[in-house]
Amino acid sequence: MKKSKCILLIVLPYMVAPTKAVISKGVRSYLAFPYGLLTVASYVKAQAVNTPDLCILDLNLYAHDEIPNVLDQHLASKPDIVGLSFTFDVSYKHMKAITKQIKGNDSETTIVVGGPAATVSCSEILEEQQYIDAVCYSEGELALCRLADAEDTREALEHAPWVTRASLKEGKNPTTQYVDSLDDVIAIDYRLVNIAAYSMKEAFSPYSSYKEVESIKQFFLVTSRGCPFKCVFCAEPAFHGSAMRYASIDSIIDHVEFLVDEYGMNVLTFYDDQLLLNQERAKELFRRLARFNLRIEMPNGVTVVYIDSEMARLMKEAGVDTIYLAIESGSDYVLREIIKKPLIVSKIRPTIEALQQNDIFVQAFFIIGFPGEREEDRQESLKIIKTLGLDWSLFNFATPLRGSELHRICRENGWIDEENLGIGDVDMTEYVIRAPGIDPDHITRQIYKMNLEVNFVENHRMKIGDYETAAQCFQEVVDRHPDHPFAHYYLAQANKMMEKHPQIVDESSRRFDELVSKDPDWMAQVEMFGLNYPQANSQI
């Protein structure tokens, strides 16, 4: 029998600071499980002929100045292969120092990198990172498993889905190798990490339970891969292809039962891109999840047209109290001609009504600032948000993510500045497109104004007199953004209307006045919307 290999899998740093999941004075910091790497590692452990000695090192658990010593300790075992998990572009600045240290420890160590950020930047990584031997294109389970079993590691790297300098020089197009049965990647082996070092934070919702820090046990689950749609802003087709693949309902339920029994899971987060596309499968999944009494969230967003009254009811019974709809625009022109999204605005209202009839809090994603988008299109989105009665809206800049069609269009037309062309250069918190007819400053101001207008000034739950839910939303914003004066203002207003919690009313009013008095920009917003200032002594 061949000698088993030693494999070290590293999660590159993406946190600004170490974020160990510890409770201190009632406050918990959050670090999500490295789900993608756990999926690959669990598959290799289960499927490799010669099960490797495999270890996961998550560098986000350490301060940046601790990383060299921690890495040295793990390299003492002389791993044959070191795999780097490159999920977020922000990690790129750490790659060179880490790979140099690995090769310095043993020049014979094979270093490979994989993950979403690696897939869309294969050639740049191999050109700029001299210590990297190969990049995995798209899915990594089969690739690493075959590498673990290969007699000649270097020879194995010359085959798909690995991309090397030699394959690029020969002009070979990167190709992937997909896992045929997703049942083989559902069961995650959490013994590969220190589970106590991780804690996830639920997505924005008035019903999120993350404040109950001692009782929340939250886990990820991805039950499908692929997406048949080609939205201009999305890079998903580059990762898992257009054809849909699904794990069986039985395998999903088995793993959910394991997580509940073994770890006490009570919050389940689905990160599928198209969980509802196969409607009958989705309905059966929700039917069978109902018995577990979980809180279920789907923060990636779901496609509007797949939700009917039965789907809404089954989701609610399964534990879904909040939904994110991937609407993106309230303009049919933008949806059809720019985003290429198969959605008609007229189809949205019945879905929202079905969800709200089942007491599900309805949020929606909107993207602002596409090249070719007109001012009338943005106003159309604003109007549709108000008329549809959405409970909350989340606005994002149109961002040319690497691997997306939008990135290709902007790059070919010179609509991205040179400083935003490199890996990790695009800041999603800033509007970076410089297309004709679009004023970046106007887009930035407009997106912020839209957020204040629909989520605070004209909040749907406040309008219909559901002050309790509205207050929970505003409190959630305060918890996440303590210096947001509009959140303090409307938290005070909601509690005034309920004639409850006078201490919250007083403290929020005082905080609002304090924040506005110190910031001319906030004062301008307050004056624009006609809010009472100072609030502490004002009455409704």
Contacts of 458 (CB under 8 A, 6+ apart): 386
User: Which token pair is 530?
Assistant: 């006609």
Q: In the predicted model, what is the mean pLDDT of residues 193-219? A: 85
- For residues 216 and 530, give the distance between their C-alpha atoms in angstroms, rounded to a whole number: 40
Task: Assign 21 a pLDDT band (cuts: 50, 70, 90).
Answer: very low
Q: E strands within 159-289?
A: 162-163, 218-221, 224-225, 245-246, 267-270
pLDDT at 25: 36
Residue 231 gets which letter from DSSP? -
Task: Assign 211 a pLDDT band (cuts: 50, 70, 90).
Answer: low
For 305-347, the pLDDT digits (tens) are 999 999 999 999 999 999 999 999 999 999 999 999 999 999 9
pLDDT at 18: 55
**Does 428 score more than 90 pLDDT?**
no
Mean pLDDT in the chain? 92
- For residues 349 and 109, give the distance between their C-alpha atoms in angstroms, rounded to a whole number: 57
Q: Pick the range with the lowest mean pLDDT from 99-103, 137-141, 172-176, 449-453.
A: 172-176
Domains and CATH numbers, the chain: 6-169 (3.40.50.280), 213-408 (3.80.30.20), 459-540 (1.25.40.10)
Please report which helix (H) or strand (E) contains residue 257, including its range. helix 249-263
SS3 of the chain: helix, strand, coil, percent, to 5 = 45, 15, 40
The answer to whether 137 and 163 have CB atoms below 8 angstroms apart is yes
Beta-bridge partner residues of 55: 8
**Does 143 score more than 60 pLDDT?**
yes
25: left (phi over 0), alpha (psi -120 to 50) or beta: left
Higher pLDDT, 301 or 21: 301
Task: Assign 407 a pLDDT band (cuts: 50, 70, 90).
Answer: very high
For 74-132, the pLDDT digits (tens) are 999 999 999 999 999 999 999 999 999 999 999 999 999 999 999 999 999 999 999 99
CA-wise closest residue to 134 among 164, 174, 96: 164
Please report which helix (H) or strand (E) contains residue 293, including its range. none
Q: How many other CB atoms sit within 10 Å of the CB of residue 482?
A: 11
For 28-54, the pLDDT digits (tens) are 446 899 999 999 999 999 999 999 999
**Does 241 score more than 80 pLDDT?**
no
CA-wise closest residue to 64 among 26, 91, 27: 91
- For residues 94 and 443, give the distance between their C-alpha atoms in angstroms, rounded to a whole number: 32
Predicted TM-score (pTM) above 0.85: yes
Q: In the predicted model, what is the mean pLDDT of residues 201-226? A: 86
CA-wise closest residue to 194 among 18, 78, 58, 24: 58
Q: Radius of gyration over alpha carbons of the chain, in Å?
A: 25
